Amino acid sequence: MSNPAVYVPSEEFVSKAHVRGIQAYRDLYRRAEENPEEFWGEVAEREIHWFEKWSRVLEWNLPFAKWFAGAKTNVSFNCLDRHLATPRKNKVAILWEGEPGEQRFLTYQELHRLVVRFASALKSRGYKTGDRAIIYMPMIPDLPIAMLACSRLGIIHSVVFGGFSAEALKARVLDLGATLVITADGGFRRGREVKLKPAVDEAISECPSVRDVIVHRRTGGDTPMQAGRDHWWHQIDESATEDCPAVPLDSEHPLYVLYTSGTTGKPKGILHTTGGYLTEVTATMKWVFDLREEDTYWCSADIGWVTGHSYIVYGPLSAGATTVMYEGSPDYPQFDRWWRIIEEYRVNVFYTSPTAIRALIRQGDHWPNAHDLSSLRLLGSVGEPINPAAWEWYYRVVGKGRCPIVDTWWQTETGAIMISPLPGAIPLKPGSGTVPLPGISPDIVDLQGQPVGTDKEGYLIIRRPWPSMIRTIWGDPERFKEQYWSRVPGAYFTGDAARRDADGYYWVLGRVDDVMNVSGHRLSTMEVESALVRHPAVAEAAVVGKPHEITGQAVCCFVTLKKGDWSHDELGRELRQWVAHEIGSFARPEEIRFSDALPKTRSGKIMRRLLREIVTTHSVSGDVTTLEDLSVVTRLASQQEEE
């Protein structure tokens, strides 16, 4: 292995950091390893307000965990009420910019008022602890207001990314058994109105559980409303009160369910609970982002993904930060929109994805160089491994060589960051997530669960439970056990491949299962295949991720057709649009390849591994002994060479 460049944090950065120097990290990590329950108990006591304390820090009945058992707390109270007795009450909590240019500056006091009013409106409509709500909104402050109002009452909520189609929305409403949908007329993206309410109407036409749809007026466009079911947010607010105390909830009360792609077509509802989740996202906000009271912090993710839940809403607000929200795309009206926002609001900490970084690199250095980015002191990366070339550009051009980069590894299922440098303690290697955070015990093993050793590729696992961990898959505990805890007995199987170098640094290499990572969005191959075979022309489909310079992975589809006179060019365009409609535009395939047959085992299973080899190396070198018909692979590989 070649020795990568190492970037050591500056003395000035170290002198002001929460964790100062490598020895301080080692001491903290060792304490957590030696007595994890005592360690997490101290963190929870320090970071979170509890109405009642726990009887035990951890009850572990593998694979089911209860953290801070018997304790009572409330996420909304921790994110809002507890700050009102401090000088933070007049501090900006959410700093928002709409794509057309509007601005809102919501202090903690004002945000508290708006959350309480909306919670009281929900309560007056009969919604209570244990009810379920779907939130399908654009990136406007009313989205976190809805989340915090739900958490105030103990309403289990599921935020659905606004780019998802009506079909995807319907699947989530049905699986959750939601009785309430909170949405908006639409939002703005690249100068156009993106309507949301019509997708809600289409989705819930087959969802009898939904009693109410609350609609926020964002765009002012024409919006059909169904009498008795649909209500304008601003109208129900007129009768709302400002008296709606936070409900003391059990530490293990479900906070939210976030649907993510699995290796079957049905999306998985990842369940996170209250006390453990909030403890860890609050602590990691401070450790990883080295948060200071005066910071303006910006995570550019969408709240529809776990990054937005943990590091736009719950983590920053619990930690008392000023969190920036931006509604639109980074390239509208031109490619300097993000740099202009950083300059205007004097952003200190900026957290984004490698996909976004690569897209901005292609536009040239002159865009960031045209703006004063001197307020930045820390950069972050999330969503997928960042390639060293993109890391170096981010460090040099955006951070001007001054700002450490926290390259964070974590998942929807982990709830919070697991592997990341502590920026005042850990020397950086471009492309490596570096070391595990205190209280996290990863390892890299083979399929027998044996450690693979230095610089050997293997499966990334987590050996011990952690507070923000997934508790189960909504309604499917058997699937939870099988998918995450059966591959390596006694350990959490992440589904990622990784290696660990001689310094103990982790290098995450990507997914080992049939889940693609497209622009940081996890997308099941099965989900795309299911959409394709619903098309009347398609007999069979196999989908794999293909390396892509901008998005990390692109969707590549191998399709066999039913008998008929098909124009491949025309049908290819139609199928791309079909998938975009069925799942969302981010899932649109880059490539559709038509084939007479697909490579299968003798038992009939499609061998996607061989298809991945074809699109990545243009050849097949792996084991083909179980193939039913070798000539299928030979033909596909030769087609690739001809192209």
Please report, rounded to a whole number, the percentage of residues in the chain having pLDDT higher than 90.
Answer: 77
Q: Residue 242 burial by CB count (10 A; 0-12/13-18/19+): exposed, middle or buried?
A: exposed
Stretch 567-576: mean pLDDT? 95
Quote the distance between the C-alpha of residue 181 and its chain's center: 21
**Helices within 205-336 (DSSP H only):** 233-237, 275-289, 306-308, 315-318
**Does pLDDT of 643 surpass 70?**
no
What residues does 66 pair with on adjacent strands?
59
User: Do 407 and 421 contact (CB within 8 A), yes or no?
Assistant: yes
Stretch 452-476: mean pLDDT? 95
Q: What are phi and psi of 476, to 5 degrees?
A: -150, 65
Beta strand 212-216 with 180-184 is: parallel
Stretch 441-451: mean pLDDT? 94
Token couple for 480 = 């939870």
Stretch 479-496: mean pLDDT? 94
Q: Which of 532, 529, 519, 514 has its CA nearest to residue 586?
A: 519
Domain of 70 in residue numbering reads as 11-437+452-492
**Does pLDDT of 50 surpass 50?**
yes
Is residue 507 situated within a structural domain?
A: no
Q: Provide the CATH number for the domain around residue 427.
A: 3.40.50.12780
Calpha distance 44→66 (Å, rounded): 14
Same domain (yes/no): 486, 372: yes
Calpha distance 501→531 (Å, rounded): 41
User: Do 567 and 148 contact (CB within 8 A), yes or no?
Assistant: no
- The domain total for the chain is 2
**Does pLDDT of 19 surpass 70?**
yes
Is residue 442 situated within a structural domain?
A: no
Q: Which amino acid is at 379?
A: L
Torsion of CA 516, 519, 522, 526, to 10 degrees: -40
Same domain (yes/no): 39, 82: yes
CB hemisphere CA count around 391 (13 angstroms)? 22
Same domain (yes/no): 471, 549: no
| pLDDT band for position 383 (cuts 50, 70, 90) | confident
Is residue 273 situated within a structural domain?
A: yes
Q: Which of 624, 632, 642, 620 has its CA nearest to residue 558?
A: 632
- Please list, residue by residue across 41-78, b when 16 or more beta carbons sit within 10 angstroms of its beta carbon and e when fewer do: bebbeebbebeeebeebbbeeebebbbbbebbbbbbbb
Tens-place pLDDT, residues 590-642: 999 998 888 875 545 677 778 888 888 777 665 554 455 677 777 777 765 45
Q: What are phi and psi of 366, to 5 degrees?
A: -65, -25
Instruction: State residue 597's pLDDT score.
Output: 84
Same domain (yes/no): 97, 229: yes
Q: Which of 151, 132, 140 has its CA nearest to residue 196?
A: 140
Calpha distance 28→50 (Å, rounded): 24
Instruction: State residue 640's pLDDT score.
Output: 58
Would you tell me how many other CB atoms lie within 10 Å of the CB of residue 264? 14
Calpha distance 524→383 (Å, rounded): 15
Q: Which of 620, 589, 384, 608 has its CA nearest to residue 514?
A: 608
Same domain (yes/no): 544, 428: no
Instruction: State residue 265's pLDDT score.
Output: 57
User: Peptide bond preceding 333: is omega within 30 degrees of 0, i.e. cis?
Assistant: yes
Same domain (yes/no): 96, 147: yes
| pLDDT band for position 549 (cuts 50, 70, 90) | confident
Cβ neighbours of residue 371 under 8 Å, at least 6 residues apart? 336, 339, 340, 342, 343
Work out the angle at residue 623's Cα, subtended by the Cα atoms of residues 619 and 628, and round it to the nearest 5 degrees.
95
Is residue 508 situated within a structural domain?
A: no
Is residue 298 situated within a structural domain?
A: yes
Tens-place pLDDT, residues 394-438: 999 999 999 999 999 999 999 999 999 999 999 999 999 999 999
CA quadruple 358, 359, 365, 367: dihedral sign: negative
Would you tell me how many other CB atoms lie within 10 Å of the CB of residue 300? 21
Tens-place pLDDT, residues 153-200: 999 999 999 988 899 899 999 999 999 999 999 999 999 999 999 999
DSSP string, 444-489: EE-TTS-B--TT--EEEEE-S--TT---EETT-HHHHHHHHHTTTT
Same domain (yes/no): 258, 405: yes
Calpha distance 536→171 (Å, rounded): 21
Same domain (yes/no): 526, 405: no
Any idea what DSSP says for residue 198?
Answer: H
Q: Which amino acid is at 615?
A: V
Is residue 365 situated within a structural domain?
A: yes
Is residue 510 situated within a structural domain?
A: no
Instruction: State residue 620's pLDDT score.
Output: 67
Instruction: State residue 264's pLDDT score.
Output: 47
Calpha distance 273→458 (Å, rounded): 30
Calpha distance 147→144 (Å, rounded): 5
Residue 84 to residues 111, 112, 206, 295, 324, Cα–Cα distance (Å): 11, 9, 43, 18, 20
User: Do 302 and 162 contact (CB within 8 A), yes or no?
Assistant: yes
Same domain (yes/no): 245, 387: yes
**Does pLDDT of 263 surpass 60?**
no
Stretch 17-29: mean pLDDT? 96
**Selected residue with higher pLDDT from 243 and 516:** 243
End-to-end CA distance of the chain: 33
User: Do 168 and 207 contact (CB within 8 A), yes or no?
Assistant: no
Same domain (yes/no): 80, 194: yes
Any idea what DSSP says for residue 249?
Answer: E
Token couple for 580 = 């975009």
Tens-place pLDDT, residues 528-544: 887 898 898 988 888 99
Is residue 2 situated within a structural domain?
A: no
**Does pLDDT of 320 surpass 90?**
yes
Token couple for 37 = 């329950």
Q: Provide the CATH number for the domain around residue 545.
A: 3.30.300.30
Q: Which amino acid is at 192?
A: R
CB hemisphere CA count around 284 (13 angstroms)? 33
Any idea what DSSP says for residue 601?
Answer: B
Tens-place pLDDT, residues 321-355: 999 999 999 999 999 999 999 999 999 999 999 88
Work out the angle at residue 158's Cα, subtended by the Cα atoms of residues 132 and 92, and round it to the nearest 5 degrees.
110
Stretch 522-533: mean pLDDT? 80
**Selected residue with higher pLDDT from 562 and 206:** 206
Instruction: State residue 626's pLDDT score.
Output: 45
* Full-model pTM: 0.87
**Does pLDDT of 17 surpass 70?**
yes
Beta strand 378-381 with 405-407 is: parallel
Torsion of CA 117, 186, 208, 179, to 10 degrees: -20
Same domain (yes/no): 469, 616: no
**What is the average pLDDT value for the chain, to the nearest integer?**
92
Token couple for 342 = 């950083």
Stretch 276-298: mean pLDDT? 98
Instruction: State residue 622's pLDDT score.
Output: 57
Q: Which of 526, 90, 620, 548 has its CA nearest to residue 320?
A: 90
Same domain (yes/no): 179, 225: yes
The residue behind tokens 């952690």 is 466
Residue 584 to residues 12, 78, 353, 574, Cα–Cα distance (Å): 46, 34, 19, 14
